[in-house]
Chain A
């Protein structure tokens, strides 16, 4: 069977599986639609959270980015995992104990204010839409590369599938398809990683192969990372394992970006809402543990894949005569992800750190997508990677769409515009909102606005500067007032958005010397978060304390057990 036949077979099988799960898990109540009836076991929720969290970017792009950044890639590795510690310790059990359906609902109740709730709704919808557009685009791109259909046809296929299980099954359908999607994506990530680790180092465990000696190529016998540092020195690139070397980010910036990604992770509504689906506060703690374990499996493999792919790529391509280049190079040259321009006309590929002599252009995504071919694996593995990338993109898209749907039907319609709506009407509205959101996400995927790619990276900064501080203070400081929270949210998100917009769209030529304390726009969410904390605390000191009922509610959510759930 050819790669394409395998891809049709495997992708078709996984899609049939997702549809089967959707039919089995369809729902008929708002509790089922919003929070899967709060009956998801901790372990299953951990897997669902893993798939919900790991997007097309984690699956396709992260290892490639790390392989170009070396040490500095740690901002993604630590930033996108460390947030789960904050979630488990500071947020998940308490939000679950409160037992609302959405994050904005908790904000509105804790801060006894519809204004706070509406501000939170708009933050949640904005963050989720910027994020989901990238996922639908990712679905289209995978379809076009592996099945040679048009990108837009790929987006439409993705829309139809998500429409089917998100609209019919709500959170319950999404949860159990995410469990299946986690299994598909982790197998699809690990199989080629194990194979390339074995091929290069003789050790099948990538996390150990990462520190082993190379068994083939020009530098056989050298420890992988030492070989990589030596290769980089020869090519005039900054050392792979070097931290504060010229050409890489500075320490303050690395600290701030890591913090912004961690705190942003803990403030993303589609991640928080997953912890609403388990039965108890205790189950919320345990499912955060399972989630990070399942995520960590991919995240500790990614840096190893990054290093293997980099050594392998440079060893096979650098100084190779173009007619001797491997088959995968030819195949991927057609997609435009890798390109060769013979500047000195010697018929050989030269890869260097100097833009004037470098002849090889490499898109980071190729490190994962072409990995099975580089490692000379059979066709079915290539097909599996396609199915894994689709699982990663679809699962994240579905989680985000549910946040948008619940924000509209529950937080805007039910609480503000149409307060005497019956449960049946609310469920109908939730499905309608989900359907509309899927279609809008599809349109954004087909006609991506130019700024989406730039904005997605900042969704974290905005989440860090808006939600996280007021959620934490809402639980840990009884004295935090409505005025404090609203002022804090607005100043945090206002400052962060202004800084990002200024340096991304107006002063685009600015470099580290122009930045505030050398902090790049990616890391400024950390400053926005601190500002939010400071403003919320300061304003709360000088305004009237929250009503006794709210203070009693804070005491109540701090204690596990005895859940009183909305409509559960």
Chain B
């Protein structure tokens, strides 16, 4: 899922400001996404499954910790992860000036849609 370079260096230079904003925004987005997906993987697959037995030696509110992550904790963390993503991306959008912006008349023409008459 790495960021790929567009074909041809000269074409990239000509894309101008909009392309720079787009790339910077995408880089921030990918970084946030990678961080949150690591947490997603860790709570569900590592704490809830792979390390469930050692964690079960610890109790949280009367529930073995590994079992708690598998049946409760992971779900709470999932909700918080999406909340953090939505809040964080709102900030990133504003920083790059791309929050809910109206359609610009000077924007490049919409991509060709095959089989569409819209």
Interface pair B78/A296, CB less than 8 Å apart: yes
Q: Does A332 contact B (CB under 8 A)?
A: no
Interface pair A561/B114, CB less than 8 Å apart: no
- Closest A-chain residue to B23, C-beta based? A555
**A85-B118 Cα distance, complex, nearest whole Å:** 32
* Chain A residues in 8 Å Cβ range of B86: 88, 282, 285-286, 288-289
- Closest B-chain residue to A563, C-beta based? B103
Contact of B101 among A224, A416, A478, A562 (CB under 8 A): A562
Please provide the chain B residues from 56 to 76 with a CB less than 8 Å away from any CB of chain A in the complex: 56, 60-64, 66-68, 70-72, 74-76
Query: How large, as a class, is the contact surface on chain A?
Result: 35 or more
Please provide the chain B residues from 94 to 109 with a CB less than 8 Å away from any CB of chain A in the complex: 98-104, 107-108
* Chain A residues in 8 Å Cβ range of B71: 66, 71, 73-74, 77, 303
Most buried by A among B52, B103, B104, B115: B115
Known contacts A241-B56, A550-B111: does B75 contact A299 (CB below 8 Å)?
yes
B51 to chain A, nearest CB (A): 10
Interface pair A559/B26, CB less than 8 Å apart: yes
Contact of B44 among A82, A212, A479 (CB under 8 A): A82
**A226-B19 Cα distance, complex, nearest whole Å:** 59
A186 to chain B, nearest CB (A): 15
CB 8 Å contact bits of A95-132 with B (1 = contact, 0 = none): 00000000001001100101001000000000000000
* Chain A residues in 8 Å Cβ range of B72: 207, 210, 300, 303
Interface pair A477/B62, CB less than 8 Å apart: no
Known contacts A243-B56, A296-B79: does B101 contact A223 (CB below 8 Å)?
no
**A479-B2 Cα distance, complex, nearest whole Å:** 11
Contact of B6 among A114, A299, A478 (CB under 8 A): A478
A163 to chain B, nearest CB (A): 29
Q: Does A415 contact B (CB under 8 A)?
A: yes
Q: Does A8 contact B (CB under 8 A)?
A: no
* Chain B residues in 8 Å Cβ range of A477: 1, 4
Interface pair B85/A88, CB less than 8 Å apart: yes
Which secondary structure dominates chain A's binding surface? helix
Interface pair A210/B78, CB less than 8 Å apart: no
Interface pair B79/A558, CB less than 8 Å apart: no
CB 8 Å contact bits of A196-217 with B (1 = contact, 0 = none): 0000000000011011110000
Chain B interface: which of A250-258, A386-394, A496-504?
A: A250-258
Most buried by A among B7, B36, B86, B102: B86
Q: Does A314 contact B (CB under 8 A)?
A: no
**A451-B62 Cα distance, complex, nearest whole Å:** 42
**A303-B21 Cα distance, complex, nearest whole Å:** 46
**A223-B67 Cα distance, complex, nearest whole Å:** 15
CB 8 Å contact bits of A537-565 with B (1 = contact, 0 = none): 00000000100011111011011111110
B20 to chain A, nearest CB (A): 12
A358 to chain B, nearest CB (A): 25
- Closest B-chain residue to A307, C-beta based? B71
Q: Does A84 contact B (CB under 8 A)?
A: yes
Q: Does A78 contact B (CB under 8 A)?
A: yes
**A251-B62 Cα distance, complex, nearest whole Å:** 24
Interface pair B85/A89, CB less than 8 Å apart: yes
* Chain A residues in 8 Å Cβ range of B108: 552
Q: Does A90 contact B (CB under 8 A)?
A: yes
Most buried by B among A259, A285, A567: A285
**A84-B85 Cα distance, complex, nearest whole Å:** 12
A189 to chain B, nearest CB (A): 15
**A529-B103 Cα distance, complex, nearest whole Å:** 37
* Chain B residues in 8 Å Cβ range of A90: 33
Known contacts A225-B62, A225-B64: does B102 contact A258 (CB below 8 Å)?
no
**A321-B85 Cα distance, complex, nearest whole Å:** 56
Known contacts A296-B79, A550-B111: does B50 contact A211 (CB below 8 Å)?
no
CB 8 Å contact bits of A281-301 with B (1 = contact, 0 = none): 010011011001100100110
Interface pair B75/A296, CB less than 8 Å apart: yes
Interface pair B26/A74, CB less than 8 Å apart: no
- Closest A-chain residue to B84, C-beta based? A289
Interface pair B98/A549, CB less than 8 Å apart: no
Q: Does A328 contact B (CB under 8 A)?
A: no
Q: Does A280 contact B (CB under 8 A)?
A: yes
Known contacts A210-B63, A241-B56, A243-B53: does B79 contact A293 (CB below 8 Å)?
yes
- Closest A-chain residue to B19, C-beta based? A555
Q: Does A487 contact B (CB under 8 A)?
A: no
Q: Does A447 contact B (CB under 8 A)?
A: no
Residues of B in contact with A (beta carbons under 8 Å apart): 1, 4, 6-7, 19, 21-22, 25-26, 29, 33, 36-37, 40, 44-45, 48-50, 52-53, 56, 60-64, 66-68, 70-72, 74-76, 78-79, 81-83, 85-86, 89-90, 93, 98-104, 107-108, 110-118
Instruction: Given contact pairs A85-B78, A566-B116, enumerate 12 new A-B contacts (beta carbons under 8 Å).
Output: A81-B75, A89-B33, A109-B114, A225-B67, A251-B50, A289-B82, A472-B1, A549-B111, A555-B22, A558-B22, A559-B25, A564-B103
